[in-house]
Chain A
Amino acid sequence: MTDGGTDADARTDGGPPAAVPPDDETPTWTERKEHSQGLAQLTYQYFERSRREDEDLRAESTYVERDVLGFPTWPHETLRNFAITSFFVGIMILVAALMPAHFGEPANPGATPAIILPDWYLYWSFGLLKLNPLNPQLAVLGGNIVMSNELLGIVAHGIIFGIIGLVPFLNKGSARRPVEQPFWAAVGVTGVILAFTLAALAIQNFFPISLDLLLTLTFMLPVLGGILTYAVLKTMREGYMYDLNRRYYMLRPPK
């Protein structure tokens, strides 16, 4: 039962002084929805500009969309996907049956095994942890290493992931085939060969090569592969351009 409130300071029903009446600067609901100020206004201005841009592009383009004339989902696409999936799962089961998983000794914290290796896909990471001879030593520090060997391994990982992440921001344009972007294709081949050589570094015990030579190869083979790729792709470009413009060349033979 309401009785007008005995204590003006302790209202719990949302009335004053708990509810503060809005001052003149507070926008009303209608004013808020008009988006006439601040970030909302900017957002809706951009919104209308980008809609206008879409309209202009649509009006200019000669591209025609066709009405729902594609490969039917049911039953064609469904069956095709099911067939491909079954094939792939079947391959996995077959391989699992033919080459069962390896089993080893139980863990023994007191006995370090001779060979410590992760799964094959982490060999490249393991190789990055074996770059100790490459740890830079500064004469300034009296020939001491700048960072610990483990930190070098982590920094190397960071460098590789950083470069991979930066690629879309460096390689712009519309090239879609390696032959159209020979430099970046060469960089890619360098990276792939580096992954393999780092993995080889991880399992160096199996290679009868000295560590120095292996380290050199680890970084020289990728660069070599990259240069080779660049050369090959640049050579292929002329043929590719000819291929694209064959009809034109037929009408206008080269001198």
Chain B
Amino acid sequence: MSLKKQDEMDHNAWLKNQDLTVIETAFLTTLIWLDKRLRIVDYLELLETMYYRANLQMPKSHTEQYDLDNKFWYWYPLYSLGSLSIIAYLVAAVSGALLGFYYAPSTAGAAAQGDPTAAYDSLVMIMKDVQFGYMLRSIHRWAAQFMVAAVFLHMLRVYFTGSYKEPREVNWILGIVLIGLTLLFGFSGYVLPWKQLSFWAAQIGVEMALATPLVGEWAAQLLFGGFTLGQATLVRMYILHVFVLPFVVTGLIALHVGIVWVQGIAEPH
């Protein structure tokens, strides 16, 4: 039994009826061929719906609404802190990727306690041998500090302008998660050079993890690779800092900004 096409569904006849150029015919033929197999038209419809949803008319801004005299909005820098934290994040991401070309996450090579490990040596190499390596590391550190500062000040701005109120509570909670992840970013990056401060700050981290009730030992194993610090810890911090956290934080930032896009900025009145 074969499926008989109804007459109006005979696409080939329809194509021939119209006067199409070669390119148009080729395009349409390809589209029909793909659509029969992959239902392209459904995705196009989805895209169209999303386009119109995302490009709704912008409501009038504060200035336009009330036709204010003072068209220079001196609070603008406070409202740009969110964007600035994303810019700092991007700078840190790029400089971090470049640093990752030279960094080695290994505690090998310490003949005695207190000797430089491979990780520490790779950092010395970055600072001394790599062209502008010291500059790269410096940029990475400062971009990270700027991001944390911008994120904190952004949170303060949102708090004091009451922009977390209904219907923006979810975004507030998401922001809390993001600032926690940013601090985790900073902590994991701090551990990577495997210096004295790195080691002992991580040591305190392990003790805190172990002190948590119920999930303490599991958390210590997951985050620090055991109850004593060593190669396992360094590798986990490295994977956290370089692989897990970038994906998670980027996705959550996109979600956070997406919610702001959909709900609109909570302008002060």
Q: Tell whether A and B belong to one assembly.
A: yes
Contact residues of A with B, CB < 8 Å? Answer: 63-68, 70, 81, 84-85, 88-89, 92-93, 95-97, 99-101, 103-113, 116-122, 125, 129, 148, 150-151, 153-154, 161, 164-165, 167-169, 171-178, 180-181, 184-185, 188, 192
Contact present for B199 and A107 (CB under 8 Å): yes
Q: Determine the chain B residues whose CB is within 8 A of the CB of A106 once the complex forms.
A: 110, 114-117, 120, 194-196
Contact with A along B50-87 (1 / 0, CB 8 A): 00000001111100100000000000000010011001
Docked Cα-Cα span, A115 to B190, in Å, equals 15
Contact present for A151 and B211 (CB under 8 Å): yes
B142 at the interface (CB under 8 A from A): yes
Q: Determine the chain B residues whose CB is within 8 A of the CB of A122 once the complex forms.
A: 183, 186-187
B139's partner among A84, A92, A174 (CB-CB below 8 A) is A92
Q: Known contacts A171-B162, A185-B160, A188-B160: does B91 contact A107 (CB below 8 Å)?
A: no
Contact present for A95 and B142 (CB under 8 Å): yes
Q: Known contacts A105-B195, A108-B113, A122-B186: does B200 contact A181 (CB below 8 Å)?
A: no
Docked Cα-Cα span, A150 to B164, in Å, equals 32
24 A-B residue pairings within 8 Å (CB atoms): A65-B57, A84-B80, A85-B87, A88-B87, A92-B143, A97-B138, A101-B134, A103-B123, A104-B196, A106-B115, A110-B114, A119-B145, A121-B183, A122-B183, A122-B186, A150-B211, A161-B180, A164-B176, A165-B173, A167-B172, A168-B166, A169-B169, A171-B162, A188-B156
Measured CB to CB, the closest approach of chain A to B73, in angstroms, equals 12
The residue in chain B whose Cβ has the minimal distance to the Cβ of A81 is B83
Contact present for A121 and B164 (CB under 8 Å): no
Measured CB to CB, the closest approach of chain A to B202, in angstroms, equals 9
